[in-house]
Structure 1
């Protein structure tokens, strides 16, 4: 076939979810195109685990959090596969380290304010209460924490594979190792240029992340995106029982650096990362060699605050964040070309991926999105005003 009802460009977290939802709606005549092999490690959606949580510091994300859980439940129900593991989750604020820092709403009060407005249950814990419940932590006494029981892990690599499998079950076609050289409006439809020829579609969803501007070049659209190389480290802790998902929660640590961590999952190892702050790069120029400065920073944090979480380094690995100036998603159609939809996850979308797939299917089929996404418009000032200041929460 060279003509399709819908084509999805990029089959990472958001693209694979969109492919599934489009195939469920339209059946055969839907195509997903991936420039590498499925499950590759060059983008943003690889690895075993991402944090899923109701804890959001902005209402536009909080409005999507509960529906995202429902969307993952739907995927699990249809596939018979477990993707989400609830562990409970902590947001820990080191108030001494953050004293005088401009945190905006990204502090404990910012989270609780949004929780209160959205009717979400939570607990506030001081340092003593936290360590009484989870003695794995070593705290200084100046910390405060928020605990929310529904937080947990969404298995990213497994979820991508499940979305693709479900899409195929609904009749979708998948092409791998097929770079898309250009996407161009073609009358009311779209021409998709590959090395094997030109494909045509009524609608196209571009979920190409760090390669987005390259794919969109033929549309005349260029988005102000920054690509960052981030990394995580797995530790082969000998204390497996203490850090089992049933006994240790996912956590985010807001201090001098913002860390996030996981119990033993995917590998026989714990996992630690730092949110944002990686070096700027491009999809072509990035390296896969972990940053030794970050390795040492992670090890120092573990030694100080989670000594039994650590152990021999199993491995460190890198991934890419593709981030607009305001660090918010892009979920919209191109101005003047509503047959082309664009998704950018801004380095924090995976928890919402199953839901975003449905929202992209709505956009591609000219339906009003099932949930509010006006904040993620492609015409907002952060994407159209060259003087808009870059504001990354690191």
Structure 2
């Protein structure tokens, strides 16, 4: 039986980051197991781009935002690869479309409260200010916008590949196309079963996202996770200069639906998605065929608010969100088996991935995490109380 100090199950965004940080400390004592090809398109960590931002509406995430930027800078410095591109970022609230909706802290005031608390500079813009700065937008007059200059793009596929490469350079072993069939607590350690061989480790980090309950099946209760099939569309806009990263920011548009968009990056095309609007599915039954309802919804938004952002559809593609009832991360050891660490990104973790890799390393090596993560405990009511209300905001 091959033995390692730590085995990481799943080499997507969070798993590859943990693999890198663990290998930096333990070298060849670390093994990464990925059930598909590295860089596959079946999970949550694919594609060119994710938004990175200091704009957070809840304190548990606002506390991690600046440290996440620092963690990405460390990865860039070690690899000499650019992963983060600053474009500036907008949160645009269509207050007419949202009238009467229960938004909680997911509004402009929720974001500015966190900015003020953490001393982050920002600008507030009305509809006229928004169009004066970025005439690409079309507005009705009821919009308010929040601009923060440090927002931008973190290149998801590139980041994962860099994390894996750095882990290998530090001596870690990585095996792709190696599904984990079971993990079993074994005394103070863990046995990890694959089709070809069985491994033993002192600690295991499970970063399997939509496959988490399958991997944890022999370790305890099933987590109440909802898997959603989300979708983005790339538009081959002919107006490339107007939507270059130096001229157009990443944005989130909170209206009747919550859209998010990117300048031209990764493809010679702009990109639009909707946060939390997909159908429920499972990791194994999900379809890869894009939903025409979402396509039409995106096209209508572009026609109404960003007409030159659009163009012929280059392609639409799907990914998965794996979401607890409160939409919060899970970053914790299993209470019954503390040698097993679990990470779930809840569909919004990639911007924090480089930092989460360090936090998972702290947990796996029995250290106090360097930043507060009590809000992401696995024994919180959202994950243990079967009557806890599920909240999947759209």
Cα displacement (A) at 1:392: 1.6
Q: Give me the whole-angstrom Cα distance separating, in 2, the residues matched to 1:197 and 1:149.
A: 50
Alignment map for 1:126-137 (pairs within 5 Å): 126-137=126-137
Alignment map for 1:195-274 (pairs within 5 Å): 195-274=195-274
Partner residue in 1 for 2:76? 76
Q: Deviations over 1:64-118 (max 9, x none)?
A: 0000000000000000000000000000000000011100000001100111111
* 3-state SS, counterpart of residue 216 of structure 2: helix
Stretches of 4+ moved more than 4 A in 1? none
Q: Deviations over 1:339-384 (max 9, x none)?
A: 1000000000000000000000000000000000000000000000
Partner residue in 2 for 1:371? 371
Please, which runs of 5 or more residues in structure 2 have no aligned partner? none
Whether 1:8 aligns to 2:12 is no
**Residues matched between the structures, number:** 394
* 3-state SS, counterpart of residue 219 of structure 1: coil
Q: Give me the whole-angstrom Cα distance separating, in 2, the residues matched to 1:57 and 1:14.
A: 22
Cα displacement (A) at 1:198: 1.2
Partner residue in 2 for 1:172? 172
Partner residue in 2 for 1:62? 62
Q: Give me the whole-angstrom Cα distance separating, in 2, the residues matched to 1:266 and 1:164.
A: 20
Q: Give me the whole-angstrom Cα distance separating, in 2, the residues matched to 1:129 and 1:220.
A: 54
Cα displacement (A) at 1:336: 1.9
Q: Deviations over 1:4-62 (max 9, x none)?
A: 01000000000000000000011111000000000000000000000000000000000
* 3-state SS, counterpart of residue 359 of structure 1: helix
Cα displacement (A) at 1:221: 2.9
* 3-state SS, counterpart of residue 339 of structure 2: strand
Q: Give me the whole-angstrom Cα distance separating, in 2, the residues matched to 1:222 and 1:373.
A: 22
* 3-state SS, counterpart of residue 93 of structure 1: strand
Report the TM-score, using the length of structure 1 for normalisation: 1.00
Give the RMSD, CA atoms, in angstroms.
0.6
Q: Give me the whole-angstrom Cα distance separating, in 1, the residues matched to 2:49 and 2:363.
A: 28
Report the TM-score, using the length of structure 2 for normalisation: 1.00
Alignment map for 1:1-394 (pairs within 5 Å): 2-394=2-394
Q: Give me the whole-angstrom Cα distance separating, in 1, the residues matched to 2:129 and 2:270.
A: 23
Cα displacement (A) at 1:220: 1.8
* 3-state SS, counterpart of residue 201 of structure 1: strand
* 3-state SS, counterpart of residue 140 of structure 1: coil
Q: Give me the whole-angstrom Cα distance separating, in 2, the residues matched to 1:336 and 1:289.
A: 40
Q: Give me the whole-angstrom Cα distance separating, in 2, the residues matched to 1:317 and 1:21.
A: 30
Q: Deviations over 1:148-186 (max 9, x none)?
A: 000000000000000000000100000000000011100
Q: Give me the whole-angstrom Cα distance separating, in 1, the residues matched to 2:221 and 2:153.
A: 35
Please, which runs of 5 or more residues in structure 1 have no aligned partner? none
